[in-house]
Amino acid sequence: MIKVFENEYAELYDMSDEIPHVLFGYWRGFWQLTDAESMRALHFPLDYVKEKDIKIMLTDYKDLAVVSESVNDWLASYWFPTVVQNGLKAEIVIDANDLIGQVSVDFMYENVNVETGLITPKALNLEEAKKMARELLDKWNKI
């Protein structure tokens, strides 16, 4: 894995050396539209997905605190449609550790599949997420 971005809200790693077309994101904190650093972290993957032909993002929310309602609305109306338009086909989710974070994650992904077509299964850990990513890529390569 090659680290391609880091700040207090995210660490993002290109995993193409291990699994082609895969980006891993470790997300944390309390996201707000008014926080420039949280928005910088959220904007980074949008262009990176397109530039590097990323098809799958492994998303670890273990240390996510909460996603504000305004950020959730922005994710639904802008982030998810944009990242899908830029080539992302699946986002494999590792859930938050605490209940508030889990509620934020569930709320974030509530309608994503229907509205964008993005595949968003949950995995228990990074190893399971990697296995799921390999299986999806194999399936798509056979089509």
Q: Which of 84, 5, 86, 92 is closest to 41 using CA atoms?
A: 5
CA distance 85 to 16: 20
Each domain of the chain, given as residue ranges in start order, spans 2-133
CATH code for the domain defined by 2-133: 3.30.750.24
Any idea of the CA torsion for 70, 73, 74, 77, to the nearest 10 degrees? -160
Residue-by-residue pLDDT tens, the chain, 143 positions: 899 999 999 999 999 999 999 999 999 888 888 989 999 999 999 999 999 999 999 999 888 777 788 988 999 999 999 999 999 999 999 977 777 777 777 877 887 888 899 999 999 899 999 999 999 999 998 86
